[in-house]
Structure 1
Amino acid sequence: MSLDFPFRLRGPVMVRDGEPLSSTTDSRLLDTQADTDWLHTDPWRVMRIQSEFVNGFGALAELPDAVSVFGSARTKPGDEYYEQAVALGAALAEKGYAVVTGGGPGQMEAANKGAREAGGFSVGLGIELPHEQGLNGNLDLGIHFRYFFVRKTMFVKYSQAFVCTPGGFGTLDELFEAVTLVQTKKITRFPIVLLGTEFWGPLVDWIKNSLAAEGMISPDDPDLILCTDSIDEAVEHVVQSHREAIAAKVERGESNDLTGRR
């Protein structure tokens, strides 16, 4: 069908305008660029974001059952929390779980170290920061991300549980993202463990005595989190919850895949 008014096409879009084009998209693509400002435009960022998702999905698609371990980047070998994270990584590996961390130093390095020394599979999902941390040296698989939200998607999609060791704002961010996704049923319920009652106890008390008591969350929402000092209890909670999730999935007839993955 022909149109009886001046127009031009801009890709799939018709523009009511008879002015001829000074150049085409092809010519602008193939011309030598005078600067690289285009690398920092929003359309190009969309492509970078897409590529990070593709790279992450491709690298992690065949990951075995895994547990994400979060915690501070600031602890050192010999610190109580660091050594606890080493033992946690080893215990998870001995139960057949890959250990996924943020790939950096401190608690992340410790959990990766424990998993690798126990013969497990150790994964690090790093992030670009103003002060470069780099990936720790205890990884079997490492991926480095530009965008926090892409990285957090990988933690959620490819893990069967979250364990938070003592940490700061980043650990709190990951904890509350996980709890919110479970609470709102955006993801299948899976275990969330806080390791260290002395460190996490005041937060758990606030959740119960302020959030739940004042009706900001449901009365049973605090039960989404297990707080313990026992690595054995933490790991057993992960194992039992994972088994129950698989059984429920099979009973619903959703999949013959027994990984429990979303």
Structure 2
Amino acid sequence: MGQDGFRAEEIDTSRPHPARIYDYLLGGKDNYEVDQRAGDALAAAAPEVRIGLRANREFLRRAVRYVVGSGVRQILDIGTGLPTSPNVHEIAHEVAPDVRVAYVDNDPIVSAHADALLSGSGANSIVLADLRDPRAIVDHPDVRRVIDFDEPVAVLLVAIVHFLTDADEPERIVATLRDALPAGSFLVLSHATGDFADRTDAQAVYSKATASLNLRSRAGIERFFEGFELVDPGLAQAPFWRPDSPPPARSEEIGFYGGVARKAH
């Protein structure tokens, strides 16, 4: 149960859900007509949205490789979305096969698909929970089965915090997660922004969805990293965070910031 009385099990699948809209825009098949209509409206309102979502996935890939390469062996992926290959554990295992991943999402459909994907994998888990109740995530037995909070953890908040309104107190939510982490842990976060174009029409698409889209400025997003030390190059547009290949055309239009930060103390 979230602070506002939200129950994950009661999501209205007659309305678009962000995870399924993303799945549709990334070319997936785990979505409904209502999600497809929303995705088409989003692409009409923000023509760069598809390259933006791909850039966000590529940021995720590079960030996971970075944190695992830095020695982290456990990942808490909150707002994981529908399985999109390569998944976080697949990316991590390319670097270190002993990495454990706890996936968290508030959509039962995501949970069901991920359950099927992870069947037989004792090193990973999928938890149905809501970011708006971060303490419940940290304390969840299926998270604790995979994650040892006495050892460094990488928390992934990739394209999820922008679905929290200011009334949800997102800075408090991220701080609650931060305070559960030992030194040497990492925060990987990406977030939509209107810094590069007016995206009011894109926000309107989500007014009919199960979560609103709350664009924030660079300065507003940097506040989520309080208590962490950003690694170079700091908070950057997603395609320009440690690129390992030439960024795609129109990357400067992409309305996603991404950053990785380490908890030193």
**TM-score of Structure 1 vs Structure 2, range by shorter chain:** 0.3 to 0.5
* Rg (Cα) greater in structure: 1
What is the TM-score with the length of structure 1 in the denominator? 0.41
